[in-house]
Structure 1
């Protein structure tokens, strides 16, 4: 059976037309709230679709709600997370659901960082991804990647991307980790742009990229162009192996981005606007209300902004494993877009996140007590982390 993205499963009691009609209600008629003077939003780097689309709606929010909006590009996922949760100089972060899973479960370097519970404020986009090669490459299918000695770009700026390339790709191809280690030459890339450009510049044979990022338009227009490798949705066994390493991915055809990618089988990686759980409820409520009610005004500012509609967000809620902020929940309840079933899974998600946060904090406390330096390459520390987190259920898309 062919794997496809799940369709929206709105409750019969919800009228989407009515919900969208509610969006025409003037914000001026809503309860007033004093917005913070400065609203700082972190996104991936300047060549990312997340940065461009946030800059599309940011000026509109500033004009309508009176908060000075500053969009800060930060290619390093770890540094953006640190700024959001430790330094607190970001109020929101555009982050993939996959990255959020790593942050909450303390995977890789995140294990050494202060564990902070987070909440989803609104859906940002569902970015399409797959593997790309140069247009004149003799690699035409995923099966061609089974050749020995291929150079695979591996971005060092995102742990989930590293995991997808290092573990997910060979798993999809049916390789063991040992076979992968001898089969591929992984080429380090310090930024997303460097990662994708590597196939055009001849430093790598294949790279894992998003079809909607601006750098892909540049590469598509380069001499020879680019070509996308289809991750065949009929390959159920391959996808099951892949999802063991990228459990937040949603398989499906690519429908957005550069022309060369459209129609190619790949996956969607949901990006979300997230914040620490202690973000003021009234602020989260006000942002959620604005994202919904102002949608028709900002949806044309960037193609990815069309994925911020209530309909798309509601579809995501049917499969989200991540907790939604209480301010957003309050707004969705007011307009009839939240159900008792949503309350149940959201509470389960909150409890699951709290379990991970508590276990990781206990691991850090024990390490401090024993004088063990936190480090992902410190076996003594990672053993403590494993002891405290063993048996906890990980986050996985609710398919």
Structure 2
């Protein structure tokens, strides 16, 4: 039996008969809440689907809720996190569940930064990803990647993307990360667009990309086009090994994005709108209410906006390990889309998040006491981090 998501990847969501009919229910005091005069939303770069789709619904929210909406592209995941949690010049961030795991657990460079708990405000999209090659490439299957000396694009801007190619790809092929480092030549890329274009520019043989991003349409239309390498869902051993390194993704058959990718076995990486846990409950409630009740108005503004329905959010909540903001929970309860069981797992997610925050802060405190500068490349600092994280359970998709 094939390993698939709860529904055909990027297909229709589960039915919530009766729930949408309750959408008009609202809290009286929430109607009195006014959003800030400026609502700044951070997304990946201008060629990403997240940026385009946020610009689709942004003007509509601006008109409905009388606020100025600004969508700010920030290709560096680390910088977007810093702007959201430290500088606080972003009110909301479009972030993958995988990246949110890295940020919460302090993986890589995030270990050096102040730990700030985040909460999910709403579901953004379930972006499909796979490995892409140029249309005239001799590579046709994932097994073909076992050829020695192949060049693999490595996006330097996103820790999960680094993990996907440096750790996940070798694991899928039955190699350790160390064997992968000897087997492949990794080609650094400073942005997502550069990462993907490497295969049509002849600088890399394979790249890990999202099928819905605008740069893929550009590449598909280039001379020779592109081709995708199917990640066979029947290869359960390969998938189990890949998921050890990318535990937040969901395997499945791709049905959205450029035509060359449709029908290919790949994976979905859910993107979420997230905010620091301490934002006002009324802020989260107001956004959740608008995202739900205005869905029919904005769903046609961009293909990815169709993934922001309450049904798809509800389906994602059935497998999400990440804590949802109390304001969003309050709204979901009002429309009958939240259960007592949801309260239990969400509380567990909050407690798990708090444990990671405490461990990371303790590591930073100890490093300061010992005069060790937080540096992801400093073995002494990372040893302190490892010590304080010992025994903590990581976040993983609830399948």
* TM tier, smaller: over 0.9
Aligned to 1:102: 102
Alpha-carbon offset, residue 176 of structure 1: 2.2
Aligned pairs for 1:135-146 within 5 A: 135-146=135-146
Preserved CA contact (<8 Å) 2:25 2:334 = no
Aligned pairs for 1:170-319 within 5 A: 170-319=170-319
Cα 1:217/1:224, change in 2 over 3 Å: same
Gaps of 5+ in 1: 9-13
Aligned to 1:133: 133
Aligned to 1:114: 114
Alpha-carbon offset, residue 195 of structure 1: 0.3
Structure 1: how far apart are the matches of 2:312 and 2:249? Answer: 16
Aligned pairs for 1:132-171 within 5 A: 132-171=132-171
Instruction: Give the number of equivalent residue pairs.
Output: 394
Structure 2: how far apart are the matches of 1:138 and 1:357? Answer: 47
Alpha-carbon offset, residue 22 of structure 1: 3.1
Structure 1: how far apart are the matches of 2:68 and 2:177? Answer: 49
Alpha-carbon offset, residue 27 of structure 1: 11
Alpha-carbon offset, residue 18 of structure 1: 1.7
Alpha-carbon offset, residue 105 of structure 1: 0.4
Cα 1:30/1:380, change in 2 over 3 Å: closer
Structure 1: how far apart are the matches of 2:219 and 2:15? Answer: 42
Structure 2: how far apart are the matches of 1:22 and 1:57? Answer: 22
- Structure 1 residues 5-40: Cα deviation after superposition (integer angstroms, max 9, x where no partner): 1249xxxxx972322223467999972311110100
Cα 1:26/1:336, change in 2 over 3 Å: closer
Preserved CA contact (<8 Å) 1:248 1:396 = yes
Structure 2: how far apart are the matches of 1:112 and 1:361? Answer: 10
Aligned to 2:22: 22
- Structure 1 residues 219-248: Cα deviation after superposition (integer angstroms, max 9, x where no partner): 000000000110000000000000000000
Structure 2: how far apart are the matches of 1:334 and 1:324? Answer: 15
Aligned to 1:64: 64
User: Is 1:367 matched with 2:367?
Assistant: yes
Preserved CA contact (<8 Å) 1:27 1:293 = no
Helix, strand or coil for the counterpart of 2:31? coil
Alpha-carbon offset, residue 370 of structure 1: 1.0
Structure 2: how far apart are the matches of 1:307 and 1:314? Answer: 11
Structure 2: how far apart are the matches of 1:334 and 1:39? Answer: 25
Aligned to 1:326: 326
User: Is 1:380 matched with 2:385?
Assistant: no
Structure 1: how far apart are the matches of 2:28 and 2:266? Answer: 42
Q: TM-score, length-normalised on structure 1? A: 0.97
Q: TM-score, length-normalised on structure 2? A: 0.97
- Structure 1 residues 70-117: Cα deviation after superposition (integer angstroms, max 9, x where no partner): 000000000000000000000000000000000000000000000000
Preserved CA contact (<8 Å) 1:25 1:293 = no
* CA root-mean-square deviation: 1.6
Structure 2: how far apart are the matches of 1:274 and 1:396? Answer: 18
Helix, strand or coil for the counterpart of 2:130? strand
